[in-house]
Amino acid sequence: MIDQHLPILQIIIPMIAAPICMFLRHHFWTWLLAVVVSWVCLPISIALLIQVLEHGVIVYKLGGWAAPVGIEYRIDTLNAFILIIVAAIGAIVMPYARVSVDKEVPRDRAYLFYAMMLLCLTGLLGITITGDAFNLFVFLEISSLSSYVLISMGRDPRGLTAAYRYLILGTLGATFYIIGVGLMYMMTGSLNIADLATLMPAIADTRTIQAALAFLTVGLCLKLALFPLHMWLPNAYAFAPSAVTVFLASTATKVSVYALIRVVFTIFAGVNILEILPVRDLLMGLAIAGMFAGSAVAIYQSNIKRMLAYSSVAQLGYMILGVSMANISGVTAGIVHLFNHAVTKGGMFMAMGCIMYVIGSVKLEDMAGLGKRMPVTMAAFLAGGFSLIGVPLTVGFISKWYLIQGALENGWWPVAVLIVLSSLLAVIYIWRVVEVAYFQAPPEGKEAVTEAPMSMIIPMLVLIGASYYFGIDATTTLDVAGQAAEVLIGGAK
Amino acid sequence: MTVTSDFPGLLIYWVVIVLMMIGFYIVISQNNMVKKIVGLNVFQVSVFLLYITMGKVKGGTAPILADGFEVYSNPLPHVLILTAIVVGVATTSLGLALVVRIMDSYGTIEDDEIQALEDDT
Amino acid sequence: MNTRMQQKVVLRVVSKFLIPFILLFALYVQWHGDFGPGGGFQAGVIFAAGFILYALIYGVERTRQVIPAWVTRSLLSVGVLLYSGVGVATLLMGGEFLNYSVLAHVPTHGQHLGVLLVEAGVGITVFSAMTTIFIAFAGQDS
């Protein structure tokens, strides 16, 4: 019986745990509940992927009402892959969070923190799993509202303004999305994504649908921080509590990329989008601009978390570049980079969390000599940096390889050259940190610092290890991503 | 389909667009944080109007089953808007709570003054 | 109750007279959602409006005595758990999530019961959320 209800269990287990956290007001028991729940969500998502690979698309009707009257959850290869990413990051961050949150969030508010984390997890899983366009908006706002709260919970008052700015821009994005959904509903009378895909080709030439596509794209690009709509991201990641940064950096924008892929490749599948609006060229141009702008601004940051945040903007550019290529290699690269970036950036932000826990600061000048004092953490940071640059044997290399392949398949030599050039920019900002940490002497008069506690080191090593494991043996991730890309491209023409 | 002949029927859509643009302009142009939230609310209200407008069926009555009525208005947009209103209320209250805490921390709620304060630290 | 409100006799008397009717109207809206405009969210807001009116006239401390913090806090979670509980109950009784038809022997009665319980959960949560938000904002010393 559980087998049939896996899709809904994936959502309601964290959703019920969140109000239960409000009842148990103790910081330890709510943490334990959060860990247990996130560790239950992970096997459910893996079971869903196995089910999809064996039996094809899973459809779950909420309330027993069949689509298009009712809301249905629809899981195919792409969905299941993203579900695993979100659930895995949630399962790894919760154990990491105990010590880190204890230091950064007042203890009497810790139960609220974990309730919000569980709600955020619910929202992100819900966006991925749903097959209904309006249901996606509801889960989008659940995850966004809880992220605004989470970002504001740190000790730094700049986190408050960062959360406020994210709130304004995020709500604008969600409202744009809902205008797009409304325009599509006006023309088709349906909100179900699969149903919209069948109804769309007949009406694709109307101005309403053009406007709907424009609104949907802009709204989702605000949520996924595509250059130049990325202004909320650097401050939000830099001034949030460390565990929150790890969680959001690895999941929130990835899920919005998934939503964009759904809109462009599934809803507008039967339509040649290029004839409606120059969506592909626009996304590709902005993606390349983001790759360079993000990396370039990252070089000048003195707050290393902010540097990694700008680097995330650049990496999002790679993902959108892959998606905009619309051939199998490009979309595979985009999808597999969702996974690769999640593990790499997650690991690097975890390293920053360890550094914040030990020395209380994430500024570059305070990190002098950390290579000797915190060898494991800095080694993990360096290893993650190699993956950001795209050194062979790392996951970053796999993504870039397929991106370049995708560009060459379409004959776009300049794009391939630009991909390589922007990777070189990453070398510069990683080198800045390496130089200070390894080649400068620790400041005099500071007490000897040791490594962060094991409960923080082990999750970090798990993520960095994953970024090398899946770089050396990428068959699983590439298989799944390739299958997902084939389904998407096969649906679109 | 000229603008003038269809204007009465399309008036509500013009209202939607005007409200949307007013709300959007307030969000991007105002410095005061509370005013930005007000602008966001106006923007969201215009979206609600858009949805409710499309729910009305010509000659339709309220969507409650009753004898003697054949044509009903579409109840689905109303349900969608209820959800969206709740989301809007939650967003507004969260935004205002953040503004209160920013006021406690910085002593001001003008965006440009806070930028100046943050750049100094 | 601050002195300015003490002078406004008309406001105090009329609000004391009206608040029970406001709460009663909220309950009417709650249970008549399937026959007319209404339902959980609207009823929760009107119910909270009664309490907010009381807080505006008589002050936040008196309202806190009427409805203490632990009540609003628990009711927030109780409403959500009631909604999810109905869903889990439908799962355990063999249907999909929130398939109300399995809740009773006759499917239409099941639908009726399911919607009633779910709307009650929504109403409780919305009421406690509105009251919490208002008291949090109004109860500050500014």
Picking from A160, A168, A179, the nearest residue to B40 by CB comes out as A168
User: Residue A293 is inside which H or E element, if any?
Assistant: helix A279-299
Domain count, chain A: 1
Domain contains A194: no
* Cβ-based contacts of A174 with chain B (< 8 Å): 87
Separation of alpha carbons C123 and C30, rounded Å = 7
Answering whether pTM is above 0.90, one says: yes
Residues 6+ apart with CB under 8 A from A149: A112, A116, A163, B94
CA A414 to chain centre: 28
pLDDT at residue C123 greater than cutoff 90: yes
Please give the residue range of the domain that contains residue C43.
3-138
Three-state secondary structure call for residue A74:
strand
**pLDDT at residue B121, as a whole number:** 56
**Which tokens in the block code for residue A58?**
């899973």
Instruction: Say yes or no for a CB contact (<8 Å) between B43 and A178.
Output: no
| Residue A15 contacts C, CB cutoff 8 Å | yes
8 A C-beta contact, residue A346 and residue A250: yes
The chains found to touch A (3+ Cβ pairs under 8 angstroms) are: B, C
Q: Give strand pairing partners of B32.
A: B110
Pick the closest to residue A373 from A311, A298, A322, A448 (CA basis): A448
8 A C-beta contact, residue A271 and residue A204: yes
Separation of alpha carbons A50 and A47, rounded Å = 5
Instruction: Say yes or no for a CB contact (<8 Å) between C81 and A20.
Output: yes
HSE (CB half, 13 Å, CA atoms) of A375?
Answer: 1
Q: Which residue of C has its CA nearest to A8?
A: C97
Which domains, ranges and CATH numbers included, belong to chain B?
A: 7-120 (1.10.287.3510)
8 A C-beta contact, residue A85 and residue A48: no
Phi, psi of A316 (to 5 degrees): -65, -35
Picking from B37, B84, B101, the nearest residue to A178 by CB comes out as B84
Please give the residue range of the domain that contains residue A322.
282-493
Distances (CA, A) of A332 to A398, A459, A475: 10, 27, 12
Picking from A138, A141, A182, the nearest residue to B47 by CB comes out as A182
- Count the Cβ atoms, other than its own, within 10 Å of residue B101: 17
Report the Cα–Cα distance between both ends of chain B, in Å, rounded: 59
Please tell me what DSSP assigns to residue A262. Answer: I
Domain contains A130: no
Separation of alpha carbons A89 and A93, rounded Å = 6
Q: Residue with structure tokens 């010590």? A: A99
Separation of alpha carbons A26 and C135, rounded Å = 24
Mean pLDDT of B89-102: 94
**Which tokens in the block code for residue A295?**
């990396």
Mean pLDDT of B23-46: 94
* Cβ-based contacts of C35 with chain B (< 8 Å): 64
SS3 content of chain A, % helix, strand, coil (to 5): 80, 5, 15
Question: In angstroms, what separates the C-alpha of A179 from chain B's closest C-alpha?
Answer: 6
| Residue C99 contacts A, CB cutoff 8 Å | yes
**Which tokens in the block code for residue A252?**
């929130």
Q: pLDDT over 70 for what percent of chain C? A: 96
**pLDDT at residue A493, as a whole number:** 43
Output the CA torsion A124→A125→A128→A132 (10° steps): -100
- Cα angle, residue A288 at apex, residues A285 and A290 outer, rounded to 5°: 105
Separation of alpha carbons A460 and A455, rounded Å = 9
pLDDT at residue B5 greater than cutoff 70: no
| Residue B116 contacts C, CB cutoff 8 Å | no
| Residue B11 contacts C, CB cutoff 8 Å | no
| Residue B118 contacts A, CB cutoff 8 Å | yes
The chains found to touch C (3+ Cβ pairs under 8 angstroms) are: A, B
8 A C-beta contact, residue A250 and residue A237: no
| Residue B64 contacts C, CB cutoff 8 Å | yes
Separation of alpha carbons C114 and C63, rounded Å = 33
ipTM confidence: 0.93
- From chain C residues 108-127, the ones with a CB under 8 A of any chain B CB are 126
pLDDT at residue B7 greater than cutoff 60: yes
Domain contains A270: no
Separation of alpha carbons A120 and A139, rounded Å = 9
Distances (CA, A) of A174 to A71, A162, A338, A377, B53: 20, 18, 21, 37, 20
**Which tokens in the block code for residue A43?**
């096997």
Pick the closest to residue A147 from A33, A244, A246 (CA basis): A244
8 A C-beta contact, residue A236 and residue A163: yes
Pick the closest to residue A23 from A120, A94, A111, A139 (CA basis): A111
8 A C-beta contact, residue A389 and residue A486: no
Count of pairs with CB atoms under 8 A, one residue in A, one in B = 67
**pLDDT at residue A274, as a whole number:** 61
Give burial (CB, 10 Å; 0-12/13-18/19+) of A74. Answer: buried
Separation of alpha carbons A96 and A454, rounded Å = 9
Please tell me what DSSP assigns to residue C140. Answer: S
HSE (CB half, 13 Å, CA atoms) of C65?
Answer: 6
User: Residue A72 is inside which H or E element, if any?
Assistant: strand A72-75
Q: Which residue of C has its CA nearest to A2?
A: C91
* Cβ-based contacts of C107 with chain A (< 8 Å): none
Distances (CA, A) of B38 to A140, B22, B24, B25: 22, 11, 10, 11
Separation of alpha carbons A41 and A29, rounded Å = 18
8 A C-beta contact, residue C46 and residue C106: no
Separation of alpha carbons A345 and A348, rounded Å = 5
Low-confidence stretches of chain A (pLDDT beneath 50): 493
Q: What is the band of C14 on the pLDDT scale with cuts at 50, 70, 90?
A: very high
Write down the mean pLDDT value for chain B.
88
Please tell me what DSSP assigns to residue A395. Answer: H
Q: Give strand pairing partners of B98.
A: none
Instruction: Encode pLDDT of B52-75 as tens digits.
Output: 988 888 888 888 877 888 888 888
Separation of alpha carbons A290 and A282, rounded Å = 12
* Cβ-based contacts of B93 with chain C (< 8 Å): 133
